[in-house]
Amino acid sequence: MEEFESMTKEELIMELMKARIAEARLKKGYEVKGDGSVILYGKENTK
């Protein structure tokens, strides 16, 4: 909680955006690692 209290408004908005993007990716069944060049798909999405 202390980490968020020390952030600026812009930093909080960026963290919120990252969390929402991660949530949407989890719903679709994939995960991005590192700089975004590696995408891991869940077993249910691979054919």
Model pTM score: 0.61
Task: Identify the DSSP state of 6.
Answer: T
For residues 12 and 20, the answer to whether their CB atoms sit within 8 Å is no
Alpha-helical (H) ranges within 1-47 are: 2-5, 9-28
Residue 39 forms beta bridges with which residues? 32
Pull the structure tokens for residue 22: 């991660």
- Predicted pLDDT at 33: 75
- Predicted pLDDT at 15: 95
Q: What tens digit of pLDDT does each residue of 1-46 get?
A: 888 899 999 999 999 999 998 888 888 877 777 777 777 777 654 4
Name residues whose C-beta falls within 8 Å of residue 9's C-beta, 6 or more positions apart in sequence.
none
